[in-house]
Structure formats: structure tokens, C-alpha cells
Structure 1
């Protein structure tokens, strides 16, 4: 069991963990639009961290913008400032879609992860009651470092950060124009955010969503996720959900787990076909578990979440 916990932790600490809010990093360089940084944004729920806001080309306070909140904010734009020299290159993908008129005006809020406590903030807290007591206690102690923080992190997003963004920028603040996206553990917390706050987030996307919860096949963590989803998945009305995974690196583990999530989503009433389609799940053969892989397919979830209804 200790090996299981160790592997679960190792599987989820790599994405941006070395970067901290206090690091004297420059603003990311972008090819499209510009970045404004809310430095060390304070919170009474979680540790302060940087928030990078991407404003598209032609940004004007006279226009109104839908908002995409993205996790692992230090990995989104500029590979030269990320710990592994990779990035999602969100400005390029979304900039192209905006220039082509495929999505309405949108700005991106990139929330930096908390390094050491990334796993504690991104692991959905309400999965825990569905785990056996002995494994749950050890998981909290060792993988979550003694304090589950996902619910506090979501309160930070909903009660502190979103109101500040809506006050500072000309946003469309309703759920129909507010979305959340992440990869791996960031995919988990994105789906969790829409489920816990369906009145706030009208859509969620998880790329390489880490339903397996560890670095090897297991039943305990996916079953906890499934049982939570069965009772808590946001109603399909007014919501969109995107899921995907590759087939190499850590993503090679995902094939047995994502299809069951897909079935739960379908049973909830989400539709994959027709004018009212609000669910999309994709597999990308040969794609791995890294920012370059997510950048290569980013336009697909962006268009699905943000495109016209």
C-alpha cells in the first residue's frame, strides 16, 4: 500500500512543481496578445500565487469577453519560462481561432500551481469518502501532505479570483461564458470545479485527465472518482464537457479508465451528436503526457468549449 501512495504522488508532482509564486520570473513572451500578471494574488483559503491574464489582440475595455480559467498557469504560454521548457502555447492556438472568427472574444486566466501542494489542491476532495478508510488516511497523510485543499482551492477561484477578474476586466460573468481547463491532475480539478459550481462554470475540459490517480493500474482511486461522478456530475443542461488522452508515456495507462467515465457522462444525459452536442471524448494515438502533446491538439477543446452555441 505504501508503494501505491508513493506512486500516486510521483505521478502528479511533475507538472510545473519546481516553479513557485515567489520566483523572479519575467512575464511570458507571447506571439499573440499580451500578458498582465496579478502578482502573488492573496487568498484566505490557499497560499498566494501569481495569476497570468492573457488579453487577445485587439483587446478593448469597450468589448465583452468570455473567460477561460486554466490551471498550471506557469506552463501555458512561454516554454522559455517553464521548468521543462515546454508550454501549451495557448496564445497561439486561441489567437488563431479568434482571428478566424471561430470563437467569440475570450481572455484566459492562468492560475499558477502551488508547487509542493499542487496535488493537494488538484485532487478532488469529495473522492476521499469513497476510498477505504486505511488507504484514505495514508493518502491524505502522504500524497496530500496532511491537508486536502481542493475545496479551498475552488473557493479561492469562485469567491476571490473570479470576482476580481470580473471587476478588473470587461467579462461576461455568467456560467454560459465561464469555462475551466487543465491537464492530468488539472483535468480532475477542472471537472470537479464544474460539478461543485455548476452555476459558475458552463464548461470544463480535461486533457489527459488523471482518473487512474497513480502511476500504475489500480481500482481504488478510479472507483472513488466514478462513485463521486455518478452522484455529482453537473446536469447536461447549460454545460459542456471535454475529455481526452493519448496512448504513450503516462497516458498509456488511461485506456481502461476514461471509457467508464464516458459512460457515466452519457448516462447523465450528455450528448455527443447533433446540434445540442455537449460532450466530446477523444483518443490521440501516439500522443504522450506533456505540454507539447497538449499544445498540438489544444484547438480541439478550445473550439468545443468556447465556440458558438
Structure 2
């Protein structure tokens, strides 16, 4: 599984005397070295956004270490948290940033984002929808459109430089907010099951809100495209599960699905020869999501679907999804699809 991070044997070389206590992150080629100095009974490193973590090994009286090999480490921008537990149970948490030498700087350009409140007859409540509009937008024109989960219309800012360079056409990004108390239920196409907060009726109501209310509203008010070749649906995490479900359930509506770090898609039913093009992505430092992505990619391919898969060095974090969003729309080079055993590995944790 060359796309996943894996633990490596840490070096025990002494650190600089200037390093008194707390955490330290170093880089050696494709390997991150994590160090902690100070009294503790246990030390872990976690991704700042969760879904990734491992224990450091004690290599001295008050020194702890672990090393992790990360594919494409030079492009990584990430926040890590050292979590040290003392003998008395007190927890010390220290967050540190890592910026790889090849990491892309944040895009400074910004488009216009407007927030709207729609009254939904299907949800029987109001719901916020955020819309990103390109410079010079005119509602009298038709624009390619991306519908994205979690109200993340600001992802349009990642596209602006490419639009200005002529690599992408001007487009509209529509972000659909979920009810945060029922996000899983609205985004994941899953039957009722003990221990899982799924609700097929709530999912169906949100689906109808999106298809019957949001799409025609965006098309009439902002000139969003009304033909599948110019419509995309996107999301990350459970929002990726939603994007995949919309593409599978409505293949005549969406030409492309940008599915970033999904998790529940491993149990989705896939029809033969799905017509939507799937752009999948996952991070080396989010093992359960990366394995679910690999499995879904293989299952789509086996059913005759068009699939592109990209790997990133990140944890389950927005920096990954912003990069993946742009790469999908630019149709950047993709990775080799996993073999037929991809689903055998889920949900094993390789770390």
C-alpha cells in the first residue's frame, strides 16, 4: 500500500542541547521524525483534525520518539498534536505545524461568496446555501457548476488563479449546508443499523431538497448549468459519501463526482457502467479513509465506471481537500488504480 503512511524505526540520535522540552518534528527524505521531551507516562501524536494517531516509543528517561514514512512528504502542510499523559493522568497537548518544502502557498485571490436561506418544503425547515461567484459573473450567462457539501462554497477560491490563467472556465460553486445535528443522516445513504446514526427518511428528504429545490434555484438565479456535462457534485468525509450517493442515484444529472476522503462508500451499491466520472482522493495519514477510497475505486472500476484516483500526504484535513478539489477540476494526472484486493484491507489500520 504505497499510498499510505507507515511507522518506521525511529533514530535514537541525541537532539540539540537547545531542545529543552516539548515536541519537535524533523524531516529526513520521506520520513517525519517526532520527538517529545519531558516527564510522561505515555505520548501520542494525532492529526489536528482527528482520524490518525500513533504512540511514541520511550527512548530515554524523559524522551519519546517515532518516525513515519509519508508518500510525497515534501508537499505536506499539516498540523500535528503531541498528547502527553503524566503519571497522575494530567494531559498536556501541544500543536505544531509542518510545512514541506514543495507545499503550494495558499491562494490569495478571493471570489464573492453570498449566503442565502432557502425554505425547504421537503425538509420542513430553512437551510443555508452559500454561493461562490466568479469575478464578472452575470446571471444571464450559463456557467459550469459544482455543488459541494457542508456549505463549502469557499472552495471556489482555489479555482480562481486557474480561471484567470485560462486553465478553467469561469464557474459557480454552490455549497449546501447540512443540519449539523443530523449530518450523517442527511449525507450517508445507509439503512438503519444499531450504533450508526443513519436515517433513510432524513436522507431522502435532503436528497429531494437538493435535486428538486437547490438545483432549479441555482440555475434560475445564478445561471448554473442545467446539463450533466457541466454539473459536478463534490464533498469531503461524510460529504464525500453524499457526493458519491448523488452521482450513483442520479447519473443523468451529474457528469462528475469529486469524492474526497469518503468512508461509508464501501457499502454502497454500484450499478453496471455508471455514467458519472468519479474523481476520488484520499490521504496517506488518514488510513481508514484512504483504504475506503481504494476499495471504492476498485469496485467502481470493476463495474465499468470511469475512475481517477489521487493520493495526498495529508491527514483528514481541509488542506488536502482544497488541493484535491482543484486537481479534479483541472484533470491532473492520477494514480494507478488499486488491485482487486483493495477491499480486503478495509478497515485494517496499517500503522
- CA offset at residue 255 of structure 1? 4.0
The corresponding residue for 2:141 is 63
> What secondary structure does 1:301 align onto?
helix
* TM-score (normalizing by structure 1): 0.67
Give runs of aligned pairs for residues 160-171 of structure 1, distance below 5 A.
Answer: 160-171=213-224
How far apart in 1 are the matches of 2:136 and 2:181? 37
TM-score, scaled to structure 2: 0.59
**Structure 1: distance between partners of 2:279 and 2:323:** 16
Instruction: Point out where structure 2 has 5 or more consecutive residues left out of the alignment.
Output: 1-49, 52-107, 333-351
Structure 1 segments unaligned to the other structure (5+ residues): 1-9, 12-29, 78-89, 129-135, 213-221, 271-277
**Aligned pair in 2 of structure 1 residues 209, 137: CA closer, same or farther (>3 Å)?**
closer
Larger Rg: 2
1:158-237 equivalence runs, <5 A: 158-211=211-264, 222=266, 224-225=267-268, 228-229=269-270, 232=271, 235-236=274-275
Aligned to 2:112: 34
Deviations 1:279-308 (A, max 9, x none): 2111213x0111122224431022239xxx
Report the number of matched residues. Answer: 226
1:295 aligns with 2:322: yes
Q: Matched residues in 2 for 1:51 and 1:234: separation?
A: 32
* Alignment partner, residue 197 of structure 2: 143
Residue 257 of structure 1: how far off its partner (Å): 3.0
**1:258 aligned onto 2:331:** no
Asked if residue 282 in structure 1 is aligned to residue 300 in structure 2, the reply is no
Q: Give CA deviations for 1:158-187 in whole Å, capped at 9, x if unaligned.
A: 111111111112232111111100001111
- Match in the other structure for 2:122: 45
Answer 1 or 2: higher relative contact order, Cα 8 Å, separation at least 6: 1
Greater fraction strand: 2
CA distance in 1, matches of 2:323, 2:146: 19
Measure how far apart 1:68 and its partner are: 0.6
1:234 and 1:168 map into 2 onto residues whose CA distance is 34
**CA distance 1:159–1:264, change in 2 (3 Å):** same
Q: 2-side partners of 1:234 and 1:167: how far apart?
A: 32
Q: Describe the SS at the equivalent of 1:68.
A: strand
